[in-house]
A = this chain, B = another copy of it.
Amino acid sequence: MFQDRCNLAGLLYNPREPRAAMPGRKPPEDLPAMARIVMKFGGTSVADVQRIKNVALRVKREVDDGHEVAVVVSAMSGATNQLVKWVNEISPLHDAREYDTVVATGEQVTIGLLALALQEIGINARSWQGWQVPVETDHVHGKARIQKIDCAEMIRRFSEKQVAVVAGFQGIGPDNRVTTLGRGGSDTSAVALAAALNADRCDIFTDVDGVYTTDPRIVAKARKLDKITYEEMLEMASLGAKVLQTRSVELAMNHRVRVQVLSSFEDKPGTLVVGEDEIVEQEVVSGIAYSRDEAKITVRKVQDRPGIAAGIFGPLADAAINVDMIVQNASDDGKTTDLTFTVGRADLERALHVLKGREGELKYGGLVSDPNVSKVSVIGVGMRSHAGVAQTMFKSLAAKGINIQVISTSEIKVSVLIAEDYTELAVRALHTAYGLDGA
């Protein structure tokens, strides 16, 4: 189970001013003159009648430019929460089918209102609920996965200059009932629709204006990235960045959907999420991410025998506690070992409780925990072909006197766990060390 426990909002933060000189509004250089575009607007972008009218004006510009447009919308912000609240008040352990019936109404309201707003300014538009497209999903109500989207009728209507306004977050299951994709599923709806439509681009309008090299609240010289690869975006999304849902990035990567993250409130280009082949001059490191929402646990002197890791992590998984970074050190005596790992800070007490309950069975020498840690990561596909990326990180942190507690790496990411007090210092040092500082 993926848990959204890292604070990477910084990477996706909307600064006061654009960091780099940007050309005026024009389509990215590689968009055809008459393109097919999917535009997705989240809940804050359609939060009230006035904002829905603004979205209609934004859509009109693409229509006026000659493009075929499908718009995917979320529920008005707050609407879904109210619906979920009612469901929980009536039935805490609710039937997911009826949950879906109730919460899917939020998007149904916005598609109707946006279609009306478009018609009001002279645009031919109609709304599509999930079952009308249809967006076919599996049977897992509340967390359904899209299996097939039949766009034939929608494409026919594009030829009549009709804009499609599609409900995000929902589909229809094999039981002929409304399904929902789980929170944040509208991103996935948009990308899947773009794949099915073979769209030239999928624009995700949000309350941030793109993806940044790091949190501009910490690093004044943070730059908005023009482009980022799917793999890097996926790494950020799976670290908990709110700007794009993990599944939507996976889907975009698998179907080569070109995604743009941009602001629904400011009129300027955002960040394009694309394949590596589209990025000509790849930086070694694209961004520095951090998360304060970490806690460290060390299990002291556990027996160094097969099955001991399963004995510790199995019960934690059963308790739905996500374990992230793991290191295991041989101990001095050669018979026992120390096992250190991180969990979400909110899960710390529960994790300790689970492990104490297994003390008799695991026969460890002690439990040590520390909630005051943070994780700092450098991310970049370029590090695949460049040696020394991790070394630069370690040197830079050492130069500032920052002790590294745990290290974990993936093909395109190096993460270290440090004392929380040093977070900003570390992020700034690394931003400079990898040459990311803007003018």
Contacts and interface: CB of A to CB of B under 8 A. Distances in A.
Contacts of A396: none
A19 interface: no
Contacts of A115: 95, 98, 101
Interface string A22-64: 0000000000000000000000000001001100000000000
Contacts of A87: 112-113, 116
A126 interface: yes
Contacts of A119: 91, 94-95, 98
A108 interface: yes
A99 interface: yes
A129 interface: yes
A189 interface: no
Contact of A102 (B98, B101, B109, B132): B109
A105 B49 CA distance: 17
Contacts of A127: 98, 101
A116 B91 contact: yes
A91 to B, nearest CB: 4
Copies in the complex: 2
A177 interface: yes
Nearest to A83: B109
A111 interface: yes
A97 B178 CA distance: 20
Contacts of A178: 129
B98 A86 contact: no
Contacts of A53: 90
Given A53-B90, A95-B116, A132-B177, 10 more contacts: A49-B90, A52-B90, A91-B117, A91-B119, A94-B119, A95-B119, A98-B126, A98-B127, A102-B116, A131-B131
B101 A111 contact: yes
A391 interface: no
Contact of A86 (B89, B99, B113): B113
A117 B98 CA distance: 10
A176 interface: yes
A112 B99 contact: yes
Nearest to A119: B95
A120 interface: yes
A298 to B, nearest CB: 44
Interface string A131-156: 11000000000000000000000000
A52 B89 CA distance: 11
Contacts of A49: 86, 89-90
Contacts of A176: 132
Nearest to A89: B49
Nearest to A92: B120
A98 B116 contact: yes
B91 A120 contact: yes
Nearest to A100: B112
A95 B176 CA distance: 27
A117 B132 CA distance: 28
Contacts of A97: 126
A98 to B, nearest CB: 5
A113 B102 contact: yes
A426 B149 CA distance: 67
